C-alpha cells in the first residue's frame, strides 16, 4: 500500500537515494532540505523531475520544521512515515573543535530529530499508526578516535530512539533505528573540521592521523570493491514495506565492526533492566524484534 513519507536531509546521499527509491516503489514522497531556492535548487529540480515533492525544511529551526510538516499535511492530507536522515559529520582532534561547533553538530544530528518528532507525533498518535525511521550509525555503538564527537551525537540517537520506541509501543507507532556502516556519501568529505586548529599542534604526529583516515576512506570509496550506498535505501524501503509490529528495532546495514554484537547484548540487558523496574510491558513486544 502506498504511504506518504517525509524525509529530512534529502538533497543528497542516503536521503536523496531513499527518496528516489521509495518514489519508484509507488510511495508519495516529500523530500525536505534547506535553501530550496538557492544552493539546493539543482537537487530540488532533479527530485521534482522524478515526481517527488520537495519542501523547505531546516531541522535546526522549530518554525521551519512545523511549517514543513504542515505543508505535507496540507498537500497529502496525511503522513505515514517520517525518516530522520538529516545529519552532518565531524572528523579531527576532539579538543580542537570549539563549543560552538559541537553545539551545531548536535543541533542537526540530535535536536533536529527531537524537533521533527514533536511536529509529527501528534498526527501519528491521533491515528494510532505511523513509522519513524532514525538514521544512526555504527559509530553510535563503537567508537573511533577523531570521530568521537560525531559518534557522541549518534550515541545520543541510540538512547533517544530506544526511549521513543518504549513510549510509543502501545500507540501503534513503530520506531526503527538504521545503523549504516562506512559508505561513500559526502558526509565526511564535507564534515566539520576543527575550528581551533592550533590546539591540534600539541598532539604532534597524532594530529595528522585524522586527515589520513579520511583520505584512506575516500580512496576505499573510489575502488572497485567500494560498498554501495544504495544498500541503505533498499534497507529502509524494506522496513517501510513491513507491517506495523513486525519491524526490527535496529538494523545494521553494511559491515558491522561489532555493532551487531553490541546490539544483541543491549537487548538482553535492556530487557532485564526494564523487567526489574516493573516496566516489562514495554519490552515484551520488542524482545524478539530487537534482535533481528
Those residues with Cβ within 8 angstroms of residue 274's Cβ, 6 or more apart along the chain or in another chain: 166, 280, 282, 283
What's 41-57 look like in SS3? HHHHHHHHCCCCEEEEC
Kindly name the residue from 150, 166, 183, 203 that is annotated as catalytic: 150
Those residues with Cβ within 8 angstroms of residue 64's Cβ, 6 or more apart along the chain or in another chain: 56, 57, 58
Task: Answer for the pair 85, 31: CB distance below 8 angstroms, yes or no.
Answer: no
Strand (E) or helix (H) holding 99: helix 99-106
Task: Answer for the pair 36, 44: CB distance below 8 angstroms, yes or no.
Answer: yes
Q: Whole-angstrom distance between the N-terminal and C-terminal Cα of the chain?
A: 24
Residue 150 bears catalytic tag = yes
Just list the catalytic residues. 150
Amino acid at each position: 500500500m502506498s504511504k506518504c513519507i517525509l524525509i529530512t536531509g534529502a538533497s543528497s546521499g542516503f536521503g536523496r537515494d531513499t527518496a528516489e527509491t521509495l518514489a519508484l516503489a509507488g510511495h508519495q514522497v516529500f523530500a525536505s532540505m534547506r535553501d530550496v531556492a538557492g544552493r539546493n535548487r539543482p537537487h530540488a529540480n532533479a527530485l521534482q523531475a522524478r515526481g517527488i515533492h520537495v519542501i523547505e525544511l531546516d531541522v535546526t529551526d522549530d518554525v521551519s520544521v512545523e511549517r514543513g510538516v504542515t505543508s505535507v499535511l496540507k498537500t497529502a492530507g496525511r503522513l505515514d512515515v517520517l525518516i530522520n536522515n538529516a545529519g552532518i559529520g565531524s572528523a579531527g582532534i576532539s579538543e580542537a573543535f570549539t563549543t560552538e561547533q559541537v553545539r551545531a553538530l548536535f543541533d542537526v544530528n540530535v535536536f533536529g530529530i527531537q524537533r521533527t518528532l514533536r511536529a509529527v507525533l501528534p498526527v501519528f498518535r491521533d491515528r494510532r499508526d505511523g513509522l519513524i525511521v532514525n538514521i544512526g550509525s555504527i559509530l553510535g555503538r563503537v567508537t573511533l578516535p577523531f570521530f568521537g564527537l560525531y559518534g557522541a551525537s549518534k550515541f545520543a540517537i541510540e538512547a533517544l530512539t530506544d526511549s521513543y520506541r518504549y513510549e510509543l509501543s502501545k500507540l501503534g507507532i513503530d520506531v526503527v533505528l538504521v545503523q549504516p556502516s562506512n559508505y561513500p556519501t559526502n558526509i565526511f568529505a564535507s564534515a566539520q573540521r576543527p575550528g581551533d586548529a592550533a590546539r591540534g599542534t600539541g598532539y604532534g604526529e597524532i594530529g595528522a592521523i585524522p586527515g589520513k583516515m579520511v583520505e584512506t576512506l575516500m580512496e576505499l570509496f573510489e575502488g572497485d570493491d567500494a560498498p554501495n550506498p544504495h544498500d541503505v535505501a533498499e534497507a529502509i524501503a524494506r522496513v517501510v514495506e513491513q507491517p506495523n509490529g513486525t519491524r526490527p528495532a535496529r538494523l545494521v546495514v553494511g559491515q558491522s565492526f561489532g555493532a551487531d554484537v553490541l546490539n544483541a547484548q543491549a537487548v538482553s540487558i535492556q530487557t532485564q533492566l526494564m523487567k526489574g523496574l516493573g516496566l516489562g510491558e514495554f519490552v515484551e513486544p520488542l524482545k524478539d524484534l530487537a534482535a533481528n
